[in-house]
Structure 1
């Protein structure tokens, strides 16, 4: 797949604007999920993911073809997410918590076929608890935890994305897990 992506990049550099649509199509869900796990908000994640693709397109000439494109794109999305976290202002969105529903949004109240309402609620509550714990982590730990356990990237890939030595990545993952353990307590 990386070969296909590199071919598309060569086409973009030669002026084929449509080639970038293939790249967006391939990576859009992964980049959105990364941003969502970092930011914890659907609207912000959509905005940051879109900005990441725009930045990648505008700066495609700076892409080093000896590096994996996915690592380069993840770095852009991660940096934009970190910037958003640092500038975060409280916003109100249509999918914000519904008053009197213990943290549920209208979207999260839709039934999942195949599971009981109790199981679905328990799973939703666990997911929400874990997501809240991840959002409490300092950004340097949150970033590596999301990249390692949500996006399932290797230590090498995380090292490339964050431009950090592997030893630093390992330390941050360890400290992030310890902090999560503390936040999650008896779960």
Structure 2
């Protein structure tokens, strides 16, 4: 068994393990079979890509780094025997890759001074203590909200997205869909009630749904397009 990359990421992986690989898929992965790779990729690619996006702020760079991380994972597939260690490795590798990338960008932009070993270490600690923690929490929260929204009934989901993704007013939506504004408001209430139920086991995600303003909710959910 591969030892946890570090305690922090192992504990994160253990805490957020709602998604489960089928035993056959995990075995196939450890044996280097294509179906095992595909299963792990489908389960975690969007999650890790969103995490790196929150660290870097660039979808293009996050896609490149995430792809490299999965290539590394697949090359050492035989070292993994548990799903927890797979997820811990992905998050730890993502964090390290993002820090390396940010350092390179900062070096290119720095003309008058270079990073000493000490400053580099301080920078890494700052990223680990603040940015990484927030990015992990938001990744888990947004993934659950996104999946809950995608699970709404068709019309309900369409109206919810027009309200919160696009920021449209009920009257505008009613005109576009040839329905009444009251129908729009009714579908909105129905969507929020369904989301309350579906997110009841994630208090942070539930708090976002219950308390966010239109602008704030749009900011979060537009970011969730990374999962699409």
Taking structure 2 as the reference length, what is the TM-score of the superposition? 0.41
Question: Would you tell me which structure has more helix in proportion to its own residues?
Answer: 2
Structure number, greater radius of gyration: 2
